[in-house]
Amino acid sequence: MWISFEDNATGTSHVKFIRQASALDLGKLGDAHGFPSTYSFPQLIFLGGMCSSSICSLLSVRNELYGNVFEITVATLLSFVSAALASTQRICYEAVASSSVVLILPGFIVLNGSLEISSRSLIAGSVRLCYALMYSLFLGFGLAIGAELYQAMLGKPLVGGMDSMCALSHDSTGGWWQRTPSMWWAFLSVPCYSLFLSLRFGAVIGRRELFLLVAISCIGWVTNHFVGIKFPNQSDISAAVGAFAVGLVSNLYGRFFEGNAFVVMITGILFQLPSGLGNGGLFNFVVDQTSGSSSSYSSGFNTALQLISTSVGLTVGLGISLVLVHPVQSRRRAAGVFSL
């Protein structure tokens, strides 16, 4: 462990290197084992499914070797199932496939990379961004392989690969279950997704922070949604304004109520990151790949760039909110936006 002791009076620092020999301490090991995860593995699977079902209107990586291809295989399986369901022309391929992979998008990785680069941590930030670019391509490749397997095995074309509005599977004259949901459903789906996403990441039921997580996430989504209507196809602007709203409320809570701003803002930030799926996104890659287009990987890189532009907007919005709430230099502000 490296520890740096800074002297503000002289502007110098003294670095100490502390080395601890490895040893077995059963008492400390037992104490550490006494802090289990908040939710069990089956509960996490249920919460992941509820997140996907909410955002439509995970499986934990246990094996280290399988973890290297986890995203590709899961995306392949889910894309194959979504294509089979879409062939009935009663299920929307894009809606089912996008909601099924929403929790494994690399948005948080891209956000961390943007924050690190903005704080001059160039190496760490660049590594994260490069990893996110390749991760997006892996994810799109998995979705494309699933669609191609469906076409090859059943000899049927992919239905609704570019049907982002689900017009092929919805019937405006049919029953309520066949019609495109109105925006009034957002009053149910947005809080539900915020709740289950918070629980998925370990929020504890009954604590004040859980209510704040849901409320601030809803504030961020509403801001992002209406700014997105005003500035269509500009995810960086809508993300910046949405992140500003989330950061402003969270930092005000942290400053005046002695709470932790990071804890109550994280769901609101993660809610805005899947915009790389919007306006085609990954599914442009899927359609180009299944049709044999030579520009398929260009679509994949465009999706990754959408995630990066969104995260840049989030970084700017969070930074501005932090400056407004903490205009005077302080230790809390100097610690950074995502400091625990």
Question: What per-residue confidence (pLDDT) applies to 249?
Answer: 92
Q: Which amino acid type is present at position 219?
A: I
- The stretches in the chain having pLDDT less than 50 are 26, 58, 60-62, 276, 278-279, 335-336, 338-340
- Tell me the three state secondary structure of residue 4: strand
Q: Of 96, 75, 202, whose CA–CA distance to 144 is shortest?
A: 75
The half-sphere exposure of 226 on its side-chain side, counting CA atoms within 13 A, is 6
The structure tokens listed for 277 are 């799926």
DSSP class per residue in 42-85: HHHHHHHHHHHHHHT-------TTGGGGHHHHHHHHHHHHHHHH
Gap between the Cα atoms of 66 and 337, Å rounded = 34
Question: What per-residue confidence (pLDDT) applies to 58?
Answer: 42
Whole-structure pTM value: 0.74
Question: What per-residue confidence (pLDDT) applies to 90?
Answer: 79
Question: What per-residue confidence (pLDDT) applies to 57?
Answer: 60
Question: What per-residue confidence (pLDDT) applies to 62?
Answer: 46
